[in-house]
Amino acid sequence: MNETPCSPSPGSLRPERILREIQINLLECKVCFERFSTRQSEHRPQNLSCGHVLCLECVRALSHPVLKKLECPFCRQLCNVDSTSHCQALTDLHDLLLCQSPGSLVPLGAKAEKKRDSGECHSYGPPQLVSAFGAWGTLVNPTGIAVFGSSGTIVVVHDGDKRVMVFSSQGKKLHSFGRRGREQAEICYPLDVAVSPSGHVVVTDAGDKSVKVFASRGSHVLTVKGPLQLPWGVDIDGHGNILISDVQAGTLSRVSVDYTRGVILTHQTPITDLQHPRAVACCHVQGNIAVVEHLFDGTPSGNHHPTRLRVFGKDFKLLHQIDSFSLSLGSAIRLTMSGVAFDQNENLIIVDSMQGMIWGLGKLQNGPALTPLVGEHLVHPVALSAAKSNTLIVLDSGDHTVKIYSSKSQVMI
């Protein structure tokens, strides 16, 4: 479990980035997502005996009314309510930042606006957090997310007793399935999830090195094994074919399935020269396929892990290739790509788990246009889905939540 946010090294951060990291990671309650406040007593920061900090309102909500104890939502240590105390250090830090001039705190949206003014445009205006749901107890170390295209229903795989959670587009839990286990209809260790045009849920299971297909309500349809060594990322192309990255074999497979009869029609491996491929995304407009590779060379690199993004055409011929080192040239930022998606305008979007950021890359025809999209309220994002109406649905394993960002304006490339 991630008990603390994975942050970049201080030397790699600019002053405005440091201030933003402080505001997100220190001055916000990670249970209710409300900003700590010295003026509202219910949002005053409180120290638990384990060392974690919650707002007073969440301490009261999570504590047993008779026993006066609560289980820390981050480390699960049992804490005595009477032993909690006001966190004066965070209060002082909050007051200190309020004394700063407004111009010293540069929000991410302002940076995006400046890029658009200079002609570096992308399909999103400054996305704002509109809702968040999940949190510890509902989601446990979530790893993958997908969206039903027509309804906006959200599917998440995680480490709970039932591995697949289904939520409405507003965040209401609808149902769950996929009990923990190694049987055909069970899931041992889910890594990623995708949804077919027919509404079937496809999950990669590292536990028995398979890909399992379920109906939308959870009944098991079929299991794909074959030559798979360690399936990781999964997505569905416009024809309903399943695309699977194999991190151990270094391959990308395409599996054609008859979902009605529960039969595998073909199992092809058109790409065999990948290096530890993980996240996979398919553009349903052009059929292009994006794959994130993790480039491990045995050299220690601290929190930074070199990654590479390859984009293939629908015929699996290489179209574009960019690595995290090249993207980082000319800036102090060291990217680590952990997730990828295409938006409705065919632009590439990447998840940077170490920086806690979502970046736009454009279409790559004329080279990547690295543009910050989302950074506020993110701890350790691992995956995302780009829905309609300029909406980004981000899976944050740092605080076990799904966060929905939306932009009112749209700027076309």
For 85-125, write each residue's pLDDT tens digit: 888 888 777 666 654 433 333 333 333 334 434 334 444 45
Q: How many CB atoms lie within 10 A of CB 200?
A: 21
Nearest to 230 by CA among 214, 220, 245: 245
Q: d(Cα 381, Cα 145) in Å, to the nearest integer?
A: 11
Q: d(Cα 296, Cα 352) in Å, to the nearest integer?
A: 17
Q: d(Cα 17, Cα 409) in Å, to the nearest integer?
A: 24
Q: What are the 10-residue block averages of pLDDT along the chain, 413 residues in total?
A: 43 57 74 74 85 87 83 86 85 64 35 39 65 90 92 94 94 95 92 96 96 96 93 96 97 96 96 97 94 74 76 96 81 81 92 90 85 88 87 94 80 35
Nearest to 321 by CA among 334, 333, 332, 337: 337
What number of CA atoms fall less than 13 Å from residue 73's CA on the CB side?
Answer: 23
Is residue 350 within 8 A of residue 373, CB to CB? The reply is: no
Q: Specify the pLDDT at position 98.
A: 55
Phi, psi at 54, each rounded to 5°: -130, 165
Is residue 213 within 8 A of residue 260, CB to CB? The reply is: no
Q: Tell me the domain boundaries of the chain.
A: 10-104, 108-406
Q: Using the CB atoms, write b or e for 238-262: b if 16+ within 10 Å.
A: eeebbbbbbbebbbbbbbebebeee
Is residue 294 within 8 A of residue 275, CB to CB? The reply is: yes
Top-level class of domain 108-406:
mainly beta
Q: Specify the pLDDT at position 23.
A: 67
Dihedral sign for Cα atoms in the order 27, 33, 37, 41: negative
DSSP states of 118-152:
TT---S----EEEEEEE-BTTBSS--EEEE-TTT-
Q: d(Cα 413, Cα 362) in Å, to the nearest integer?
A: 8
229: left (phi over 0), alpha (psi -120 to 50) or beta: alpha
Q: Specify the pLDDT at position 258.
A: 96
Q: Specify the pLDDT at position 3.
A: 41
Q: d(Cα 149, Cα 162) in Å, to the nearest integer?
A: 23
Q: Specify the pLDDT at position 96.
A: 66
Check for a shared fold between 10-104 and 108-406: no
CATH number of the domain at 10-104, please? Answer: 3.30.40.10
Phi, psi at 338, each rounded to 5°: -120, -15
Q: d(Cα 198, Cα 321) in Å, to the nearest integer?
A: 32
Q: Specify the pLDDT at position 106.
A: 35
Please give the model's pTM, rounded to 2 decimal places: 0.71
